[in-house]
Amino acid sequence: MQSTKLQVDSIIPNPDQPRTVFDSDELNGLAVSIKENGLIQPIVVEQAGDLYILIDGERRWRAHQIAGIKEIEVVIRPASNHNGADRLTHALVANVQRASMGYVDEARAYERLVKQYGNIDAVSKKTGISDATIYARLYLLELAPGVQELYNLKKLPFDLSVISLLKKLSKDDQEKLASISVSRGWKTTTILRAGSKMFNKAGGKIATPKVRVVKEIPKGAKFDALVMLSLTKEKINVSEEAKVAARATCKACPLYAEAGPKICNQCPLPDFLGRLAGK
């Protein structure tokens, strides 16, 4: 598509923009750069009557406003007709590809797309983002609001063992542990150690998980969430798409090499798979 120029004030933000966090220092720096060097890549818009909806390039558009530049180079794409799902998908993929989106903004976008397209596998195919990534992000939506905010700002490590531990704590303890971790710059290992003490103090037993083994582990099999689920459920019926996503998620886990009932009992994935299977 060829680019053209539009008045900055004829463009409105994308109502389906999944991203909510924009760093003011980065925007100011981008505004200076654009003022001195010009815009390297046009933004993408969609016509809506006399106005244009911003599809990709909100940071560049905001930077033009800061710099006081009245016109901006754009590519006008055909109007979407899927109740905003296309706009959301395009904006989500653009942000994820730049690794500039908050984890919870990303999770909420996936949640909306799952409702729109019916299931996680359909969203994965539409966006090109793996099932495992989508499942992992969705876990965050079960945490306390304050913890979600810190994850959205990427101030906490995105580690499934940390997320699993946080989910076992009360909402107040989640926020307390998250706040201390950020203020003291704790890494994954320290957070897990402090969180385990907090959980044990509250009456939990992270160190001695209750696991009812009903089957033997298949010889030569690598332990993962699916094996864990098979040990604790008499019968499971998980879709092939969910199995592929689960295996990919487990392989990405830093504890995969040490996986076993004790470790995997602390992970949210087996329970999540059990809910998917309707058990």
Check whether residue 70 and residue 10 sit in a common domain: yes
pLDDT tens, residue by residue, 116-150: 888 888 888 888 888 888 888 898 999 999 999 99
How many folded domains does the chain comprise? 3
What span, in angstroms and rounded, lies between the C-alpha atoms of 14 and 87?
A: 8
Q: Is 217 domain-assigned?
A: no
> Do 111 and 14 fall within a single domain?
yes
Q: Confirm whether 216 is domain-assigned.
A: no
Q: Which residues are catalytic?
A: 58
What is the domain-level CATH number for residue 122? Answer: 3.90.1530.10
The DSSP line for 33-102 is HHHHH--SS-EEEEEETTEEEEEE-HHHHHHHHHHT--EEEEEEEPPP-STTHHHHHHHHHHHHHTT-S-
- 123 plus 91 within the same structural domain: yes
pTM of the model: 0.55
For residue 207, name the pLDDT band (cuts at 50, 70, 90): very low
Cα–Cα distance for residue pair 6/47, rounded to 1 Å: 11
Q: Which domain holds residue 172?
A: 158-201
Mean pLDDT of 224-233: 74
Please check whether residue 207 lies inside any domain of the structure. Answer: no
Pairing state between β 51-56 and 11-12: parallel
Q: Is 83 inside a domain boundary?
A: yes
Q: What is the pLDDT of residues 56-72, one digit of tens each?
A: 888 899 999 999 999 99
Q: Does residue 128 share a domain with residue 13?
A: yes
**Does residue 259 share a domain with residue 188?**
no
**Residue 253: per-residue pLDDT:** 78
**Cβ-count burial of 33 within 10 angstroms (0-12 exposed, 13-18 middle, 19+ buried)?**
middle
